[in-house]
Structure 1
Amino acid sequence: MKITGVKVTHVNVPLDAPFWWTAGLYGGASKSIVEVETDAGVVGLGEAPWWHFGEVIKAEIAPALIGADPLDIADCESRCVPPWQITANTGENASSVAFGSVELALWDIRGKVQGEPLYKMLGGAVRKDIPFSEYFAFRPEQGGAGGEMTPEAIVDYCLRMREEHGSTIFEGKLIMGDPALEIRTVRMLREALGEGPQIKLDSNMQWSLTAARWILREIEPYNIRNYEDPVATFEEMAALRQHSRIPFSTHVPDLRRAVALGAPDTFVCNFAALGGLSKTLKFIAACEAMGKGFWCYSNDLGIMTAAYLHVTAATQWITEASQSLFRWQVGDVIRDGPFRQVNNTVRVPEGPGLGVELDPAAMKKWATHFTEHGPMGHFHDPGRAGRYRRLPLN
């Protein structure tokens, strides 16, 4: 079997309402959907974390893979990715992420050829109901959605998610640059939800070390399960650890520094950003050996999310709920998407490979959205139009 083509389609999938994060308003995702075609008629699906990487795939990865054996992933990688020791020092690591997006499709092909779901190829399932958090944030109203711009509204939203969907794991961004507002919201959430539900926070590095010390001291009594990137560096997180028992997580996959400094405690990553599924499995194994946690990223579409489901199903070490923005996504590119958790979990697909199929009508709709509107922006601040925010916010 040989690779005959690699098709890349840019898509936008907006959220029902934008949410505030450290860099501005976040309105949705712009992804590249990858279809690796073979002379046997088997097509594998992949997903790039941002559309820029789709351009790298078209220009560099796709030409290199024509004629390759899709089951020989090591050979495919050697055609596409320079040695990491070099690219890490030159900033030329886009090829690693781009190939990681395609490598997902190669695993999908392997599963379809073998007639097995991905989790079985990874050794079998230790769980099949995969936990995901519900998400909350300050969100301006848009088209009847959102409108949670006060602590009271965020509390009401979380209570409604518990009532309607059985959600008891909540993660959120309380990013308005006001430490007192965050402290008040956390207190109100814990009082309303009671002792049992999990509360996780994600600051996107908005706080200075001084502000973070104050916030963590005030919210520690409310049993915070995890705080992601409260400050900008591992060194600052290590300094925070002297003042707080709250665990920290990060999107920055630097395991050596985390072990050396003692913080953060957990990595939250996209598989393509780690270089693909094969490298992700090695990274998770290294985290286990070093006593560091791992769970999966949010705001990916159904193809990457399916990979999260399979890997979590097959990996004993991933025990915490991964992030999700499922409830806010207005669409997807897969049939029956987007995934939606019920009682905190999503069932791992049982079909061959990733177990998901593209929805042609949805693909056309969201590709047209990208063509007509361009990529989704993540850095718009209505109060400072045309200028990027600077950190920390406080």
Structure 2
Amino acid sequence: MKITRIKVTHVNVPFDKPFWWTGGLYPGASKSIIEVETDQGLVGLGEAPWWHFGEIIKTDIVPALIGANPLDIADCESRCVPPYQITANTGENAASVAFGAVEIALWDIKGKAYNTPLYQLLGGAVRKKIAFSEYFSFRPDHNGLKGETTPEAVVEYCLKMREEHGASIFEGKLILGDPELEIKTVKLLREALGNKAQIKLDSNMQWSLPTARYILREIEPYHIRNYEDPVATFEEMAQLRQHSTIPFSTHVPDLRRAVALGAPDYFVCNFAALGGISKTLKFIAACEAMGKGFWCYSNDLGIMTAAYLHVSAATAHISEASQSLFRWQIGDVIENGPFRQKNDVIDVPEGHGLGMTLDADAMRHWHNHFKTHGPMRHFDHPNNPGRYQRLPLH
């Protein structure tokens, strides 16, 4: 089998309402959808975590892989990705992320070639129902939809998710730079949701170390399951660990430093950002050996989410619920997308490979959105237009 063509399509998929994070208002996702075509008629699907990696795929990855055997993933990687020791030293790791998006498509082809779901190629399923959290945040009104701009509104939203979808796992960002607002919201959430519900927080590194110490002291009685990036560095998390028993997570996949410092406790990663599914499996195995946890990223479309489902199905060590913004996505590029959890879980797809089929109409629609509006910006702040925020916020 040979690769004959690799097609890259940029798409936008907005949220129903933008949410506040440390960079400003976050309106949705701009992704690159990858289609790897073969001379045997099989097409593998991949997804890049941000659209500009699609441009790297066009210029660097496509010429290297035309004519390659898509089933020989190691050979394909050696054509596209320099040694990690060099890229780690130079900061030139974009090729690794770009190839990681394509590598997911190669696994999709392999599953289709062997007429089996991807999780079977990864060793079989240890679970078939994969847990994902609901998400909450402060969100302004948008396009006639009422947002959640107060602690009471955030609580009301979470109760609605519990009533309508059976949710019991909640993760969220309470990012407006106000420690007292976060403390009040956490208190009200615990009172409303009861002791059995999981509450996770994600600060996107908004707090200084002194402020984080104060906040964690105040919210610890409310049984916080995890706090992601409460401060900006692993060193600060290690200092924070001396004052709090709440577990910490991060998107920064520096396992050696986390082990050396004792914090954070979990990694939350996009598979392409780690270099693909093969590299992700190695990273998770290393986390397990070193006593660190792992779960999957959020704000991905259906192709990457399908990869999360299959790897989580085949990997016993992913025992915590992964992140999800599914409820806010107003569209997707796959048939029957976006995914939606019920009672906290989504069934792993049973089709061959990733088990996903592109929706041609949706692809055209969201590609036209990208062409018309350009990529979605995550760093726009209405109170400081044209400038990036600086951290910490408090």
- What TM-score do you get using the length of structure 2 for normalisation? 1.00
Structure 2: 5+ residue stretches without partners? none
The 1-side partners of 2:147 and 2:79 are apart by 49
Say if 1:267 and 1:294, in contact at 8 Å, map to a contact too.
Answer: yes
Q: How much does 1:145 deviate? A: 3.1
Q: What is residue 219 of structure 1 aligned with on the other side?
A: 219
> AA paired with 1:376?
M
Deviations 1:174-230 (A, max 9, x none): 000000000000000000111100000000000000000000000000000000000
Deviations 1:47-91 (A, max 9, x none): 000001000000000110000000000000000000011111111
SS at match of 2:45: strand
The 2-side partners of 1:255 and 1:144 are apart by 44
Deviations 1:258-294 (A, max 9, x none): 0000000000000000000000000000000001000
Q: What is residue 304 of structure 1 aligned with on the other side?
A: 304
Q: What is residue 178 of structure 2 aligned with on the other side?
A: 178
Q: What is residue 383 of structure 2 aligned with on the other side?
A: 383
- What TM-score do you get using the length of structure 1 for normalisation? 1.00
Q: How much does 1:92 deviate? A: 1.0
Matches within 5 A, 1:280-299: 280-299=280-299
Structure 1: 5+ residue stretches without partners? none
Q: What is residue 108 of structure 1 aligned with on the other side?
A: 108
Q: What is residue 341 of structure 2 aligned with on the other side?
A: 341
Runs of 4+ in 1 over 3 A off after TM superposition: none
Deviations 1:300-355 (A, max 9, x none): 00000000000000000000000000000000000000000000000000000000
Q: How much does 1:147 deviate? A: 1.0
Q: What is residue 68 of structure 2 aligned with on the other side?
A: 68
Q: What is residue 325 of structure 1 aligned with on the other side?
A: 325
Q: What is residue 365 of structure 1 aligned with on the other side?
A: 365
Q: Percent identity?
A: 78
> AA paired with 1:142?
H
**1:92 and 2:125 aligned:** no
SS at match of 2:284: helix
> AA paired with 2:259?
V
Q: What is residue 250 of structure 1 aligned with on the other side?
A: 250
The 2-side partners of 1:331 and 1:15 are apart by 8
Q: How much does 1:245 deviate? A: 0.2
> AA paired with 2:30?
S
The 2-side partners of 1:270 and 1:19 are apart by 20
The 2-side partners of 1:326 and 1:149 are apart by 20
SS at match of 2:339: coil
The 1-side partners of 2:145 and 2:29 are apart by 17
SS at match of 2:383: helix
> AA paired with 1:316?
A
The 2-side partners of 1:218 and 1:302 are apart by 38
The 2-side partners of 1:239 and 1:320 are apart by 25
Q: What is residue 155 of structure 2 aligned with on the other side?
A: 155
The 1-side partners of 2:28 and 2:364 are apart by 17
SS at match of 2:196: coil
The 2-side partners of 1:10 and 1:335 are apart by 17
The 2-side partners of 1:10 and 1:88 are apart by 27
Q: What is residue 259 of structure 1 aligned with on the other side?
A: 259
SS at match of 1:382: coil
The 2-side partners of 1:268 and 1:182 are apart by 22
Q: What is residue 204 of structure 1 aligned with on the other side?
A: 204
The 2-side partners of 1:305 and 1:145 are apart by 26
Say if 1:118 and 1:354, in contact at 8 Å, map to a contact too.
Answer: yes
> AA paired with 1:86?
I
The 2-side partners of 1:172 and 1:91 are apart by 31
The 2-side partners of 1:228 and 1:142 are apart by 27
RMSD in angstroms over aligned alpha carbons?
0.5
Q: What is residue 54 of structure 2 aligned with on the other side?
A: 54
Q: What is residue 24 of structure 1 aligned with on the other side?
A: 24
> AA paired with 1:145?
L
The 2-side partners of 1:129 and 1:381 are apart by 38
SS at match of 1:46: strand
> AA paired with 1:44?
G
Say if 1:16 and 1:146, in contact at 8 Å, map to a contact too.
Answer: no
Q: How much does 1:146 deviate? A: 4.7
Q: How much does 1:167 deviate? A: 0.2
Q: What is residue 374 of structure 2 aligned with on the other side?
A: 374
> AA paired with 2:200?
K
Q: How much does 1:120 deviate? A: 0.6
